[in-house]
Structure 1
Amino acid sequence: MRQGPEEQLPNRAADAVTTGQMAALLRALRRRHARHNRDRELTYREIASRTGWSTTAVAEYFTGHTLAPTDRLDALVRLLGATSVEQGALATARDRIDEHRRSGRPRAPISARPVLRQLPPPPRHFSGRDEELAVLDGLIDGTRAAGVVAIAAIDGAAGVGKTTLAAHWAHRTADLYLDGQLYVDLRGFDPSGRTVTAAHALRSFLSALGVPDSQVPASEDAAAALYRSLLTGRRVSILLDNAYDSAHVRPLLPATATCTAVVTSRNRLTGLVALDGAHPITLGPLPQAAAHIVFATRIGDGRAEAEPAATATIVGLCAGLPLALGVAAARAATNPHTPLQALAAELSAARLDALTGDDPRSDTRAVFSWSYHALTVAAARLFRMLGLHPGTPISVAAAASLAAVSVTEAGAALAELVRGNLLSHRGADRYLIHDLFHWYAAELVRDTEPDGVREAATHRLLHHYLHTAHAAARPVEPPLQAPAPGVVAGDPGDDASAWFAAEHTALLRAIDIAVARGQDAITWQLAEKLGDYLDRRGHWNDLASIQEAALTAARRLREPLSEAGAHRHLARAHLRLGHYGQARTHLSAALELAQRHGDRHAEGRTWLSLALLSEREGRLDAARDQARHALGICVEMEDRPGQARALNAVGWYQALLGEYADALAHCERSVTLAAEVDDPICQANAWHSLGYSHHRLGDYHQALTCYHQALGRFRQAGDDHLAGLILTDLGDAHSCLGDTVAAGGAWREALALLDNVRHQDAEKVRARLAH
């Protein structure tokens, strides 16, 4: 008997080379499955329910829009009754199609950006929400069919699981978005009031999409337009978490039907629904059955089954709030020998009336209070004090300073808070508090600690960051004035750049706290310590922001030399961003202040900055003369570190002007002097200048030696910006020697570093690689 199309499946699979042909094979398999079971064909929704995938994902596989990943294809064909022979044939076909698809595409340019992967980790314990997941799946189906953007607006009370739902769904549908996922926590309800603005989020998204920092438009409208343009034609899902209102997220919405945006907020985003076509999803507490599963899964089904009445009591008192269930489960899990009935009694005594009220915040507070009151005195005090912290990951030393205890005592208290699920552990020395717990801690410290205690704790925290930043930024300088009692200065370790990177956000927020408290001295000192790090890592907008605050603080302090320093840092930020007019304005102000108050050291540093600006403007003769003027001042003041930097600057501009013999003489003196005063950054710059001069003189081997000397020092300093530029020149020297393999390797490494800091010279490196 002649075989039907479905029975010839292995033969058809052997010829399949497109996703459309694979989809046809899957549809044939589904028809055969229905015929063998004497039933109708399984619907996409039924297949999604049995596999745990989204309906949209299933539809994409059966229509040929997406090639199913290997593990999903295996599961799907087994569900549809494929024999072992057919499973092997289909798996082979899938690999062939994937390879054919890759080889058939034009080769991706060297500049191809990685797929965006910004989602937070998927939730470990997820149950219920089937109805909401189905709505989200259906939203994509409906909007894509209509050719419009899919926008979901999920609202609900604090702790109800909005972020958990959105993250779970985003991970479940990740394979539908070939270009990846964008994520931002907008912190719309942050107790510190430091909301992430749409403008800041746009800068972050544009950076992830490959826009150099210097090319991000200044206005929010222009940045939003560029963002929408870059998303056109891409398949990206965007999770906008913790928005305050509709206006907060509107600039972040895509304008192409290939993208999906999911917004979460404690407020109902009626404006987004009315004006932007968002689909509202109001999230209530978990149903009793789902809440029971969440709690029982976390403590162990056997324990829950052994005490069903106590389990039901605890689950009921948690009012279906996932976060409250997590706290209760952590309390039970960390007390494995305590009967659940005893824990239920404790929870019942912790303001049961609030738990059964109609105010979700009161409900959450009651559950938190139950966990809080179970802490030791030391851990409870530290938990309260965390309400004064910015809410970023906190180190043990910072926690010790906040509470005025030893590092050992702080570590023990932090560990207790982690066991109670009030903190999460982030790396070897970092702990993170959830937003809701942070809000609760801020309320506790406000209501229970006197003003003087709060002021002293905040003062200690700021001094912790100041003294640790000083150690990281200026390890060879004399220490600051001794810290106040109770302050623990952290140890940045050998890799100061890594410490700055880990504390980046905390340091910026510490400056915000200092500004809000009128702590002008701490404001400009912290800003000064951060300057070099932010410059090296390409965070030039942050550099400009904190130096504006430092400038205001210095003016209030009536300290003109501090004001001059802030002007110089601001000029550096504007110079990096290509705002040369603003850079010149700030440098002119810095020079006038230095000259008026007779600070020749500051004057010399300012002349060096003016020389750099002249170089950027293409006025090399002026740059060389300004550097010479700076050198003369440094010699006059017997400023040996300044002399080393000025010697290199003079030599560099001479090299750019083709005066190579003079350039070599100046830069060799700079290398020697920089080594004597232990200034590795100056040494690195001088070695680079020497390499550049030898390169232009045709001595490529000597140029390579010099470039490697510079590269090692920049890498040790964590300066990705300058290391990338050195690697570019290194590749050029290899190319001149005919070693294309070494040249390509250096350029690829340079491109990765320059892309990392969004440097405009990355395009020049791409051009080298392309040719």
Structure 2
Amino acid sequence: MVEFRLLGPVEARVDGEPVELGPARQRSVLAALLADANRLVPVDQLIDRVWADRPPLRARESLHSYLSRLRHSPAGAGLEIRRLPGGYVPQVDPDAVDLHRFRRLVAEAREAGDDEAEALLERALGLWRGDALADLDTPWAGDLRRTLRAERWAARLDHADVRLRRGRHAELLADLTAWTAEDPLDERLAGQVVLCLYRGGRQAEALEHYERLRHRLAEELGADPSPPLRELHQRILRGDPELTGEDAAAVPDRFPAAPPSFVGRAGELAALTRDADEGPVVQISALAGAGGVGKTWLVLHWAATHRDRFPDGRLFADLHGFSSASAPLEPSVVVRGFLGALGVAPARVPADPEARTALYRKLVAGKRILVVLDNAADADQVVPLLPDSPTCTTVVTSRRHLAPLITRHGARHLQLDILSHGEARALLTERLGPARLAAEPQAAEDLIGLCGRYPLALAIVGRHAHTRPHIPLAEFAAELRDIGLDAFDHEDPSVSLPAVLSWSLRALTSEQRTVFALLGIAPGPDIGLPAAAALAGSSPQRTAKALTMLEEASLLSRRPGGRYAMHDLIRDYAAATAGHELRPPEREAALRRVLGCYLHTAHAADRHLDPHRQAVPLAAAGAPHPLRDDAAALDWFDSEHANLLAAQRAAAAAGWHDVVWQLAWGLHTFQNRRGMLTDRLAVWRTALDSTAHLADPVATCRAHRLLADVQANLGRHDEAVGHLREAVSLAEGTGEQTEQGLAQHGLSWVWQLRGDDRRALDHATRALELFRALGKPVWEARELNQVGWLAAQVGEHETARSHCEAALALHRRHGDTHAEADTLDSLGYIECRTGHHEPAIAYYRRALTLYRDRGNTFQVADTLDRLGQPLAALGHRGEARTAWREALELYRQQNRAREAERVRRQLDALDGEPATARVPAGH
């Protein structure tokens, strides 16, 4: 967008940035054209405007040169200079030239009503940046400057007239008096000054001002005052009651002081401004948020910075919806206060509440007034206090969402959340000073984290630290860690976070309070409806209603996917509430229910991902949340993974050891496919510790075996072998042949990683014999693939191919698609090793399709790594590069540094001879 400025120095801006316009003559040419936008400017007239009576010898050529430069300058994008017979036509959007925009706005204001006229004139006068054409000194520029100066003066007086008609005399007088020094004989201005003085109760000064002007006119011009000014003088002498004006009453401004300091919230402030600019509709903004999140301060700051928007006054009421007061204020009480602020004598206030509201709305109708209704309890308290005039702006704050205001009155909802990290740091910096934070940067970061970026918490900590400048910030951080929520308590409830939060519970039912309290002890950062229903011991329908009411009360946030979460400090308060209001058996029963829900659903989801995996009997009672298919199972695991980890920790803390290892079992397939090695390690270490408390050697065997699988993937081969030997010993001691076979398979995998493929093949062969003896065709097929894979490693390719083909047939017969992918990958490797690159690529791609369908990103990475080899060998370097780049990204996401480094070297060498060395991955 190109904008041209003549009301000041000549400028052009493109997208808000100034652009170079060249020397003074070239700027003169531009101004001479823009002054007559979209009209023919004769060449001679253009030359006269630029050079007056001293044109150069080749004035036309110089003019043409300047025009050419303007056409090719950045400003030329907004101005087309057309050559016509006799002159030039500057084609430009008139609103892109401040001079023409000023004239249009003034003309529109003179046709508009006072409300609109005042805004239009403010916009018009706001375009001026000093004297017009201030940097041009030609006679033509001087003439135009004088003309525009007169137009500006007239617009200023128009603006003053509008403000006088709207009763704004008190704020006008200083400006008008100053303008008198510029033109002491302007009779229109003198009349405005006289009227201002009279309406302000200064009748003698008004008459004195008139007499001074009359004498000066007579002495300097030999003239009398104009008829309108003489009439005004006579009306003052008569005491004309209409002269005071209907709107001359005091402007109401019952408003608390703005916060002494304020940081951040740029988005929310901008949203309030947008709402106030919505146009010819009743303006209502409903600002919701938890107690102590900063709603009131935000509104007071916004109102202070936009005070000029509300020349007719501001009204404020704390409705005490959530406070230490005994009860929320009745609307009729608030209206009585508003009427007093609007100048209604107590004797004239109607007794009937509806009549009061009607009078209040009549008095604010057509006025630009801000009404702030702070701390509302509900919509019923607010509705009688709403103006019904589109000129008014209303902002309502509440801990509730006030849905009826949104649906019935068109209010625009704005949710206030915690501060961003930058805003939180700025708040502490403002309270404590940058030097103190710079001296202890880590402690400052700890305070921000421990306060959870919650405004009231940060303010409390800031107050503590500010009043104790000799105490290191690290001590305050340590105190927060030790004491927790109690560190934010105070005897004054208005600055105590627990007290402020407690007021939100008053409007809740007993059932809703119980759900709130239980959410404080639920494991994990958030919760879905099925788990919440299990926690509450209620139906999903009743629980959903309770959660909605907690969300309405700003105690809970709903996130995408039907997830609910609390701020950490609100969660701490909920946990404290549970400790105070619920008996230990109630809390324990609720925790058992939610853990049972997570455990049963995790095992049901695991069966979707691997239907051929062993099922284990579950100790905890519960019912699984139904899942349609393996895609839904993966989605559920993705959503609940953090909660399942927290659930295992909660079970361990409670001493429910069977639940601990069974949660690890339910997580295994998902974590394996997602390549979550670090989480798998923590889960199975915790599981192994718990099985030590159980008289169940099979559970201990499984924990050793699956912990070994993680250790092997992490390159900790000695530890893995140790755990697997323990697993073999326990399995042999209990006669568990399935566990023996699986432990032998694990040993095969570890020895392969250690580079001893022959020893690995021996263990795989032993496992195959065990599975065949047990009559387990699914496990037999999986071990056939392992034997085939290892046979390929030792160069026995025909043996490898026959075993893998037999495995593939069994997989397909039993519908084991994931193991089928493993075997396709093995066959791809065998074909690649024997120089059959085309079939190798086909096998790998079929394997990838199956892995991707099942969400196994861990194996996707390995197969992509291997796919790159035959692609590179056939000269398909672009495809090889694509495969390896994706593999590299997946390896990095999975923290598999060794594999990532190898692939990076392969990519670096891709322009040379393709590498053939390969580090195998297990199946």
Please give the range of the TM-score, normalised by the shorter of the 2 chains. 0.5 to 0.7
Residue of structure 1 equivalent to 2:538: 405
Tell me: CA distance 1:296–1:708, structure 2 relative to 1, closer, same or farther (3 Å): farther
Equivalent positions of 1:568-717 (< 5 A) are 568-717=705-854
Q: Find the structure with the greater CA-based Rg.
A: 2
Contact 1:464 1:490 in 2 (8 A): no
Tell me: CA distance 1:539–1:705, structure 2 relative to 1, closer, same or farther (3 Å): same
Give a deviation string over 1:712-738, Cα, whole Å, max 9, x none: 121122221210111122222222222
Residue of structure 1 equivalent to 2:900: 762
Tell me: CA distance 1:467–1:366, structure 2 relative to 1, closer, same or farther (3 Å): same
> Which has the higher mean CA deviation after the structures are superposed, 574-583 or 598-607?
574-583
Cα deviation for residue 768 of structure 1 reads 2.8
Residue of structure 1 equivalent to 2:317: 309
1:292 correspondence with 2:425: no
2: CA distance, partners of 1:660 / 1:548: 39
Tell me: CA distance 1:130–1:581, structure 2 relative to 1, closer, same or farther (3 Å): farther
2: CA distance, partners of 1:372 / 1:295: 29
Cα deviation for residue 629 of structure 1 reads 0.7
Amino acid at match of 1:363: S
Contact 1:571 1:583 in 2 (8 A): yes
Tell me: CA distance 1:421–1:9, structure 2 relative to 1, closer, same or farther (3 Å): same
Tell me: CA distance 1:346–1:288, structure 2 relative to 1, closer, same or farther (3 Å): closer
Contact 2:320 2:375 in 1 (8 A): no
Contact 1:400 1:487 in 2 (8 A): no
1:491 counterpart SS class: coil
Contact 2:767 2:783 in 1 (8 A): yes
Contact 2:788 2:800 in 1 (8 A): yes
Residue of structure 2 equivalent to 1:210: none
1:308 counterpart SS class: strand
1:741 correspondence with 2:874: no
2:523 counterpart SS class: coil
Give a deviation string over 1:619-672, Cα, whole Å, max 9, x none: 011011110011011111112222111101100011111211111110111112
Tell me: CA distance 1:630–1:370, structure 2 relative to 1, closer, same or farther (3 Å): same
1:405 counterpart SS class: coil
2: CA distance, partners of 1:404 / 1:619: 55
Residue of structure 2 equivalent to 1:489: 625
Equivalent positions of 1:353-368 (< 5 A) are 358=491, 363-368=496-501
Which residue among 678, 684, 689 is the counterpart of 1:552? 689
Residue of structure 2 equivalent to 1:372: 505
2: CA distance, partners of 1:493 / 1:479: 18
Give a deviation string over 1:97-151, Cα, whole Å, max 9, x none: xxxxxxxxxxxxxxxxxxxxxxxxxxxxxx9999686xxxxxxxxxxxxxxxxxx
Which residue among 590, 593, 596 is the counterpart of 1:463? 596
Residue of structure 2 equivalent to 1:395: 528
Cα deviation for residue 429 of structure 1 reads 1.9
Residue of structure 1 equivalent to 2:383: 337
1:410 counterpart SS class: helix
1:690 counterpart SS class: helix
Cα deviation for residue 390 of structure 1 reads 2.2
Contact 2:321 2:376 in 1 (8 A): no
Amino acid at match of 1:419: E
Cα deviation for residue 506 of structure 1 reads 0.7
Cα deviation for residue 682 of structure 1 reads 1.3
2: CA distance, partners of 1:553 / 1:652: 35
1:650 counterpart SS class: helix
Which residue among 535, 538, 544 is the counterpart of 2:672? 535
2:554 counterpart SS class: coil
- TM-score normalised by L of structure 2: 0.49
Tell me: CA distance 1:443–1:492, structure 2 relative to 1, closer, same or farther (3 Å): farther
Runs of 5+ unmatched residues, structure 1:
1-6, 14-24, 33-83, 90-126, 134-163, 169-283, 318-326, 348-353
Cα deviation for residue 528 of structure 1 reads 1.3
Cα deviation for residue 742 of structure 1 reads 2.0
Cα deviation for residue 497 of structure 1 reads 2.8
Tell me: CA distance 1:549–1:128, structure 2 relative to 1, closer, same or farther (3 Å): farther
Cα deviation for residue 706 of structure 1 reads 1.0
Which residue among 861, 864, 868 is the counterpart of 1:727? 864
Contact 1:405 1:486 in 2 (8 A): no
What do you get for the CA RMSD once the two structures are aligned? 4.5
1: CA distance, partners of 2:399 / 2:529: 31
Amino acid at match of 2:523: P
1:309 counterpart SS class: strand
Amino acid at match of 1:494: D
Tell me: CA distance 1:717–1:26, structure 2 relative to 1, closer, same or farther (3 Å): same
Amino acid at match of 2:906: R
Residue of structure 2 equivalent to 1:43: none
Residue of structure 2 equivalent to 1:446: 579
2: CA distance, partners of 1:381 / 1:613: 51
Contact 1:547 1:566 in 2 (8 A): yes
Amino acid at match of 1:458: L
2: CA distance, partners of 1:128 / 1:585: 68
2: CA distance, partners of 1:312 / 1:361: 12
Which residue among 535, 540, 556 is the counterpart of 1:423? 556
> Which has the higher mean CA deviation after the structures are superposed, 723-732 or 495-504?
495-504
2: CA distance, partners of 1:431 / 1:285: 19
Give a deviation string over 1:394-419, Cα, whole Å, max 9, x none: 11100011011122222222222222
1: CA distance, partners of 2:384 / 2:901: 63
Cα deviation for residue 361 of structure 1 reads 9.7
2: CA distance, partners of 1:437 / 1:362: 16
2: CA distance, partners of 1:336 / 1:316: 19
2:585 counterpart SS class: helix
Give a deviation string over 1:570-593, Cα, whole Å, max 9, x none: 111111111111111111111111
Tell me: CA distance 1:314–1:445, structure 2 relative to 1, closer, same or farther (3 Å): closer
2: CA distance, partners of 1:581 / 1:332: 65
Tell me: CA distance 1:385–1:619, structure 2 relative to 1, closer, same or farther (3 Å): same
Contact 1:404 1:486 in 2 (8 A): no
Cα deviation for residue 329 of structure 1 reads 5.9
Amino acid at match of 1:310: D
Tell me: CA distance 1:464–1:591, structure 2 relative to 1, closer, same or farther (3 Å): same
Contact 2:837 2:874 in 1 (8 A): yes
Which residue among 660, 665, 675 is the counterpart of 1:523? 660
> Which has the higher mean CA deviation after the structures are superposed, 616-625 or 568-577?
568-577
Cα deviation for residue 479 of structure 1 reads 7.1
1: CA distance, partners of 2:18 / 2:636: 52
- TM-score normalised by L of structure 1: 0.58
Cα deviation for residue 677 of structure 1 reads 2.9
Contact 1:128 1:290 in 2 (8 A): no
Amino acid at match of 1:606: A
1: CA distance, partners of 2:397 / 2:629: 46
Cα deviation for residue 744 of structure 1 reads 2.2
2: CA distance, partners of 1:88 / 1:721: 57
Amino acid at match of 1:665: S
2:823 counterpart SS class: helix
> Which has the higher mean CA deviation after the structures are superposed, 674-683 or 445-454?
674-683
Contact 1:540 1:576 in 2 (8 A): yes
Cα deviation for residue 339 of structure 1 reads 5.4
Contact 1:648 1:667 in 2 (8 A): yes
Tell me: CA distance 1:654–1:334, structure 2 relative to 1, closer, same or farther (3 Å): farther
Which residue among 625, 631, 646 is the counterpart of 1:509? 646
2: CA distance, partners of 1:753 / 1:549: 27
Tell me: CA distance 1:377–1:286, structure 2 relative to 1, closer, same or farther (3 Å): closer
1: CA distance, partners of 2:489 / 2:704: 57
